[in-house]
């Protein structure tokens, strides 16, 4: 689906949203969970482009719901996988590999019980190894359209990035904010210190002027974009974790169910009242 001129959201990608920037040099922003590679490349062909036109696979951050199909898309297109330097680890055979995103994270048992999250071991088994071919840092500009600007927005993960296009003025937020359709929220995070770090990043975004916002989860936001994002930091994100989970547990259950079934998750309350 073309969401703005030459900007496509690849239909039915499971896990996260996958956006295709169809300039002369094409780039993919996030890839969903493992198993979406063919679907992404079929979409490229469906708009009359060649898989080899895709030059970059840009990962906003590592957890498997965004990076899961990056190696598949790389194998099918030859595009380089790009992530922030703080998400890169030395690979055993040389080069760099993407952090899995769970390093140092301890998912509370009671959370697994409430939302039915897979055990840590199950997560580990499902993680494909993702090579990184190019790292970026804050201020870098990638060759896509008239320049895709990289902003380092740590918090959700140490190397989370937001991406900004000048024209059209689209801000790609990864999981630094989530569109639940009925409201914009911050991602669920266990560590209070990281929540404060995320808020510092979101406060930096207050300076941005974007007409559209594309999220890792949820639909494109086209109205009151910056007002909605600025409103996030108008209220502090300093609640205890259990309070945040209680507020969001229905959404969390639906997200985990969609990952288990391998279907697309649109976020928020289901449209039309159906589950
Ligand atoms: Zn995500």
pLDDT of residue 92: 86
Show the CA angle centred on residue 18, arms to residues 67 and 138, nearest 5°. Answer: 65
Nearest Cα to Cα of residue 132 among 79, 188, 210 = 79
What is the pLDDT averaged over residues 196-211? Answer: 94
* pLDDT above 60: residue 114: no
Nearest Cα to Cα of residue 173 among 182, 158, 160 = 160
Calculate how far, in angstroms, residue 17's C-alpha sits from the geometric centre of ligand 1.
9
Q: Whole-model pTM above 0.75?
A: yes
What are the tens digits of pLDDT across the range 36-91? 999 999 999 999 999 999 999 999 998 788 999 999 999 999 999 999 999 999 99
Q: Higher-confidence residue: 250 or 148?
A: 148
What is the pLDDT averaged over residues 185-210? Answer: 89
Calculate how far, in angstroms, residue 217's C-alpha sits from the geometric centre of ligand 1.
6
Rounded to whole angstroms, the Cα distance separating 82 from 85 reads 9
Calculate how far, in angstroms, residue 264's C-alpha sits from the geometric centre of ligand 1.
12
Calculate how far, in angstroms, residue 175's C-alpha sits from the geometric centre of ligand 1.
5
How many CA atoms lie within 13 Å of 15's alpha carbon, on the beta-carbon side? 21
Q: Which of 97-101, 229-233, 261-265 is modeled with the greatest confidence? A: 229-233
Calculate how far, in angstroms, residue 166's C-alpha sits from the geometric centre of ligand 1.
24
pLDDT of residue 268: 55
Q: Higher-confidence residue: 141 or 146?
A: 141
pLDDT of residue 43: 98
What are the tens digits of pLDDT across the range 242-270? 787 787 778 777 877 777 777 777 665 54
Two structure tokens written together for 57: 């696979």
Rounded to whole angstroms, the Cα distance separating 219 from 157 reads 22
SS in 3 state form for the chain? CEEECCEEECCCCCCCCCEEEECCCEEEECCCCCCCHHHHHHHHHHCCCCHHHEEEEECCCCCHHHHCCHHHHHHHHCCEEEEEHHHEEECCCCCEEECCCCCCCCCCHHHHHHHCCCCHHHHHHHCCCCEECEEECCCCEECCCCCEEEEECCCCCCCCEEEEECCCCEEECCCCCEECCCCEECCCCCCHHHHHHHHHHHHHHCCCCCCEEECCCCCCECCCHHHHHHHHHHCCCCCCHHHHHHHHHHHHHHHHHHHHHCCCCCCCCCHHHCC
Calculate how far, in angstroms, residue 37's C-alpha sits from the geometric centre of ligand 1.
17
Calculate how far, in angstroms, residue 28's C-alpha sits from the geometric centre of ligand 1.
16
Per the prediction, the chain carries an average pLDDT of 86
Calculate how far, in angstroms, residue 91's C-alpha sits from the geometric centre of ligand 1.
24
pLDDT of residue 254: 80
Q: Which domains does the chain have, with CATH numbers?
A: 2-261 (3.60.15.10)
Report the percent of the chain where pLDDT is more than 90: 62
Give the pLDDT band (50/70/90) at residue 121.
Answer: very low
Two structure tokens written together for 253: 């259950």
pLDDT of residue 240: 79
Ion ligand 1 residue ranges (Cβ < 5 Å): 16, 65, 175, 216
Give the pLDDT band (50/70/90) at residue 271.
Answer: very low
Calculate how far, in angstroms, residue 144's C-alpha sits from the geometric centre of ligand 1.
23
pLDDT of residue 275: 28
């Amino acid at each position: 689906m073309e969401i703005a001129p030459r900007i496509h959201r690849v239909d039915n990608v499971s896990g996260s949203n996958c956006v295709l920037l169809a300039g002369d040099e094409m780039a993919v922003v996030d890839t969903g969970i493992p198993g979406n590679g063919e679907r992404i490349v079929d979409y490229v062909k469906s708009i009359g482009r060649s898989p080899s036109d895709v030059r970059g696979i840009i990962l906003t951050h590592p957890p498997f719901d965004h990076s899961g199909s990056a190696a598949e898309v790389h194998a099918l297109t030859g595009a380089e996988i790009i992530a922030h330097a703080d998400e890169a680890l030395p690979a055993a055979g040389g080069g760099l590999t993407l952090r899995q995103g769970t390093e140092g994270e301890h998912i509370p048992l009671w959370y697994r019980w409430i939302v039915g999250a897979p055990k840590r071991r199950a997560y580990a088994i499902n993680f494909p190894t993702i090579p990184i071919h190019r790292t970026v840092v804050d201020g870098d500009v990638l060759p896509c359209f008239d320049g895709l600007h990289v902003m380092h927005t740590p918090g959700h993960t140490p190397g989370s990035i937001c991406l900004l296009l000048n024209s059209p003025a689209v801000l790609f937020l990864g999981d630094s904010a989530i569109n639940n359709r009925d409201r914009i929220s911050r991602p669920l995070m266990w560590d209070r210190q990281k929540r404060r770090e995320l808020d510092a990043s979101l406060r930096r975004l207050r300076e941005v002027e974007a007409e559209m916002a594309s999220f890792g989860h949820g639909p494109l936001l086209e109205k009151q974009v910056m007002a909605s994002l600025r409103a996030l930091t108008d209220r502090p994100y300093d609640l205890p974790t259990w309070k945040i989970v209680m507020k969001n547990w229905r959404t969390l259950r639906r997200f985990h169910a969609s990952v288990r079934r391998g279907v697309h998750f649109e976020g928020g309350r289901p449209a039309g009242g159906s589950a």
